[in-house]
Amino acid sequence: MKLSTKGEYGLLAIIDLALHSHKGPVQSFQIAERQSIPKQYLDQLMLTLKKAGLVESSRGRQGGYQLARAASTISILEIITALEGPVENVNFIGKEPLSRNTARDILRSLWSNLFSNTVEVLRTKTLEEVCDQHQKMENQIMYYI
């Protein structure tokens, strides 16, 4: 599995939205500024997230984006899938059936387990949990020597 710039920027955008939407709709230029994402590119990403049912938009002077449902019900896997398409196992060993090469078979199994565990972490981690972790890290006092 490889996360593209589209996936990275999309995740940053929806995390930013979740962190700031308690005050009402968030305008895309605000997200673009905070996350250093080109606004035109961000607008495309937000449209993708809207089509996936993850965000809603409202027009007008006070318009902007907000989450379509509670952050506690949105998994990181769901966001990545909306942005990147289905998550697939990038198998460096190849896709041929089991062979007589025991080392190859062991590595294939290891890679498959790694992929399954990665997907499980992304499936169970919610946007709310990521935002909570963000808030905790932001609130920590940093000491520099």
| 144 in any annotated domain | no
Report how many domains make up the chain. Answer: 1
DSSP structure class, residue 71: G
| 145 in any annotated domain | no
- What type of residue is 110? L
| 16 in any annotated domain | yes
User: Can you list the residues of the chain whose pLDDT is less than 50?
Assistant: none
CB 62 within 8 A of CB 24: yes
How many CA atoms lie within 13 Å of 21's alpha carbon, on the beta-carbon side?
A: 24
User: 3-class secondary structure for 78-99?
Assistant: HHHHHHHCCCCCCCCCCCCCCC
The whole model's pTM is what? 0.85
Span 44-70, pLDDT tens digits: 999 999 999 999 999 988 899 999 999
CATH number at residue 111: 1.10.10.10
Full residue range of the structural domain in which residue 100 is found:
5-139
| 79 in any annotated domain | yes
